[in-house]
Amino acid sequence: MQDHRAPDFPELTLPLFASLKKIFKTETGRVFLYPASGTGAWEAAISNTLNRGDRVLMSRFGQFSHLWVDMAERLGLDVICVDVEWGTGVPVEAYRHHLEDDPTIKAVFATHNETATGVTSDIAAVRQAMDAAGSDAMLYVDGVSSIGSIEFKQDEWGVDLAVSGSQKGLMAPPGLAVLGVSQKALAAAESATMERCYFDFADMIASNDVGYFPYTPPIPLLHGLRASVDMLFVEGLSNVFERHFRLAEGVRRGVHALGLSLCATAPYWYSDTVSAVRVPDGVDGAEVCRIGYHRYRTSFGGGLNKVAGKVFRIGHLGHLNEVSCLAALASAEMALADAGAGIELGAGVAAAQAYYRQALTDRQDLADLDLLASAAPR
């Protein structure tokens, strides 16, 4: 274990803070690391910048957007919650109308990637709607299952609080909440009156500025995050995003070849980090997960809340490649068949194989594949 009060500890932390800013694509803001899950970053974002009774605009279309709404209400915010179909995402037009009608709204919340349903929303469009409505509200974004895997531009999109965690696209074990904070949000924290202690920005700033933390940090996780961030930079963020699209598209084609559909209701909503697959009538999604786990040693995500038993989830983000996705599809096919689904074994895998072979052949930078292979997950 490294001494987190040693004089050389900032040699680890200060460059790590700077690297995370590059991943969040913020030059003007700063990134905090809390010993917590992404839920801790949700709470840090709210408690540092808002007051009890503040009116905020949120939407609910999956388990994690639902939980953020629940937290906001329990912390005393006056929540306008727009409920939309699970399988769609942030209702941008509805947001614009609410913002035009109610100038007292202090904050707008958007879940970039809803992990429970495999839906990605357009955060740039949310900012455009806010600007069109003349809103001065702050923009809060949950990027737990998007940042590091799907393009994210905190400064360009005007995101004031960007939430992530160490265990998804950042490829480290769970245990670190990562929070990107704009200058506007930092200023709001100076006058916000909501109670906070463990998550206080002021305490973090005072310690982080010299490379330390106000409490004992999870040192092994910081070293792991340093290694995984270096992997992202070696591969190149644009290549990381392209790889995630390619892997996800192969999974999607495999799902469709099996005659199944996704929870996401249209391609516009498709996520490049997780696919929630609807099971056929008469098949229990939880049973597919159980069979996959115990019989084929594959851990699928189960359906949550409104989609419990109706879907199972294939995650395709972080440290993985085409063969990883083919293995997941093969296991899914067997588990589905064992659970009673009338599918053709091998059809999904074959469709994904055909897509991956063609997609890699069509790449214009084939000469660079050896370089990418040395950096990309094996």
Whether the pLDDT of residue 366 is over 60: the answer is no
Which residues, 6 or more positions from 188, have their beta carbon under 8 angstroms from its beta carbon? 48, 49, 50, 138, 160
To the nearest 10 degrees (0 to 180), the angle between helices 10-24 and 219-235 is 50
Task: Tell me how far apart the alpha carbons of residues 111 and 146 are, in angstroms, rounded to a whole number.
Answer: 10
Q: How many CB atoms lie within 10 A of CB 219?
A: 16
Q: Are 263 and 307 in contact (CB under 8 A)?
A: yes
The pLDDT mean for the chain works out to: 96
**Range list of β-strands (E), 20-132:** 30-35, 55-60, 78-83, 105-111, 113-114, 119-120
- pLDDT of the residue at 297: 98
| Euclidean distance between CA atoms 60 and 267, whole angstroms | 20
**Between helices 322-338 and 285-294, what is the axis angle to 10°?**
120
CB 326 within 8 A of CB 352: yes
What are 6-41's pLDDT values in tens digits?
Answer: 999 999 999 999 999 999 999 999 999 999 999 999
Dist CA 121 CA 126 (whole Å):
9
pLDDT at 362: 83
Residues 51-99: pLDDT tens digits?
999 999 999 999 999 999 999 999 999 999 999 999 999 999 999 999 9
| Distances in whole angstroms, Cα of residue 283 to Cα of each of 93, 107, 234, 334 | 36, 41, 43, 13
Report pLDDT digits (tens) over 258-306.
Answer: 999 999 999 999 999 999 999 999 999 999 999 999 999 999 999 999 9
Find out whether 313 is annotated in a ligand binding site.
Answer: yes
* pLDDT at residue 375 tops 90: no
Q: Give dist(CA 30, CA 297) in Å, integer.
A: 40
**Domains of the chain (ranges plus CATH)?**
10-234 (3.40.640.10), 236-375 (3.90.1150.10)
